[in-house]
Amino acid sequence: MDRGLSRAQGLDIGPTIELLWWEGCPSTERAVTDLRGALDDLGLPGEIAMREIRTDEEAQAAAFAGSPTILIDGVELMEALGRGADDEPAGLNCRVYVRRDGRMSPTPDPEDLREALRGARS
């Protein structure tokens, strides 16, 4: 699908979502499930483009701060939420997210996903 053409034609194709993942971290499936759930909750169309990061070199080139890293319309999730750029060093890692109740987690808080996706629509 030509997303630019679709947008120009006024078609609702939803936000562009890219999920960067590394096989050494088992959180990918959960992250995808949560992302699809957030899209469904908001009634948004949207495809999740999966991009595997395999090497330290690829991690450096992609500024990959750990698996999963989620880009919405090209903006990293935490930046999209206005929580600043990630200070995690790039590398093959599992990423640490902080849930809204303060707990550490391998996946983002689902409410953070919904907030970022809502922001991408506005």
Contact 32, 26 (CB under 8 A): no
The reply to whether 103 sits near other proteins by the rule CB under 8 A is yes
Cβ 105 to other proteins shortest distance, Å: 6
Which one, of 64, 78, 74, 63, lies nearest residue 3 by Cα?
A: 74
Place of tokens 């993942």: 21
Report the residue count for the chain. Answer: 122
* Given 16, 18, 25, 36, the residue binding other proteins (CB under 8 A): 25
Give the separation between CA 20 and CA 18, rounded to whole angstroms: 6
* Least distance between other proteins and beta carbon 69 (Å): 13
Q: Of these, 37, 45, 74, 91, which contacts other proteins (CB under 8 A)?
A: 91
Whole-number minimum distance, CB 70 to other proteins, in Å?
Answer: 14
Site of interaction with other proteins (CB under 8 A): 24-27, 56, 89, 91, 93-97, 103-107
